[in-house]
Amino acid sequence: MPRDRRDYFYRKAKKEGYFSRAAYKLKQISEKFILIKKGDTVVDLGAAPGGWLQVAKELSGGKVLGVDILKIGEIDGVETIKGDIRLAATMDRIRALIPKDGADVVLCDAAPNLSGNWSYDHGRSIDLATSALECAQKILKPGGNFAVKVFQGDMFLDFLNRVHRVFIKSQAFSPAASRDPSAEIYVIGKQFFSGAVVLNREYVVTIEDIGANGDGIAKINDFVVFVKAVTKGETLRIKIRYIKPTFAFGDRV
Ligand SMILES: C[S@@+](CC[C@H](N)C(=O)[O-])C[C@H]1O[C@@H](n2cnc3c(N)ncnc32)[C@H](O)[C@@H]1O
């Protein structure tokens, strides 16, 4: 991105009262992927100085919680925690502040202090992004959404695959407000599910019951899978055809 365009977002943030130019990245991500809806509980990891928190609060109007090792600016109606997102103790503090049934959205724009050594900085960024994913897996409601910043490098695809396994849709995205040439990219996960089943994978299941609409009900790792044209007690091989946050459909193979 040319310097004048970078300055454009910097000046725009100043003029519009955002604590960071990064605020526009979240606006662009959320517009494209509809990450945050009215009333959502949003947890933002690596949130200082607070531009994303301002945008999250505008979009949700619900409970918004920011976490950073640095102090976060005061934002009306936003709670904050000073803590390291890699620590279990910080996760416990987050859990204590969100509703019992979990969060709707987990965001992470955390970045390590850059050393200038590309692969070292990449490794530390993957470390932070992995902590954010683990947090998301612990606190997101089924169907919840996730966005995390990662500096690209050789561990990026592995990370993207991890996200892919526990969200029904996942994608890497570079918002226009990102600096260019920048190594940063955002990984978006939509519709969190437990990851108990894998799309197109085959499983041997036993039909435990028949549901109200006549479909057989099997369970794989406690996850409900509906199968058509089966009888109760039957054991068969199925292929997962379709996954929703709290159940899946499988076909006899
Ligand atoms: C690019 S800034 C976030 C900007 C923010 N999204 C905004 O709009 O204002 C990255 C932040 O990640 C934080 N950070 C880095 N490592 C962290 C860690 N282990 N735990 C918590 N925060 C961390 C940094 O302190 C820094 O404030």
User: 10-residue block means of pLDDT along the chain (253 residues)?
Assistant: 68 92 95 97 98 98 98 94 97 97 98 90 96 97 97 96 96 84 89 93 98 97 97 98 97 97
| Domain shared by 80 and 132, yes or no | yes
| Domain shared by 112 and 231, yes or no | no
Structure tokens at 96: 């204590």
Quote the pLDDT of residue 207: 98
| Domain shared by 151 and 208, yes or no | no
Q: Is 149 a catalytic residue?
A: yes
In a domain, 197, yes or no: no
Quote the pLDDT of residue 153: 94
| Domain shared by 183 and 222, yes or no | no
For residue 107, the ligand 1 atom closest to its alpha carbon is 6
For residue 19, the ligand 1 atom closest to its alpha carbon is 9
Neighbours of 222 (CB within 10 A): 7
| Domain shared by 124 and 101, yes or no | yes
Quote the pLDDT of residue 252: 97
Q: Which one of the listed residues 27, 63, 149, 190 is annotated catalytic?
A: 149
- Which residues have C-beta atoms less than 6 Å from ligand 1? 19-20, 22-23, 46-52, 67-70, 84-86, 109-112, 128
| Domain shared by 170 and 247, yes or no | no
| Domain shared by 214 and 177, yes or no | no
For residue 84, the ligand 1 atom closest to its alpha carbon is 20
Contacts of 5 (CB under 8 A, 6+ apart): none
Q: Which domain holds residue 224?
A: 202-252
Which residue minimizes the CA distance to atom 5 of ligand 1? Answer: 47
- 38 vs 34, 51, 107, CA distance in Å? 11, 18, 16
Quote the pLDDT of residue 9: 86
How many domains are there within the chain?
A: 2
| Domain shared by 30 and 96, yes or no | yes
| Domain shared by 208 and 188, yes or no | no
Quote the pLDDT of residue 176: 85
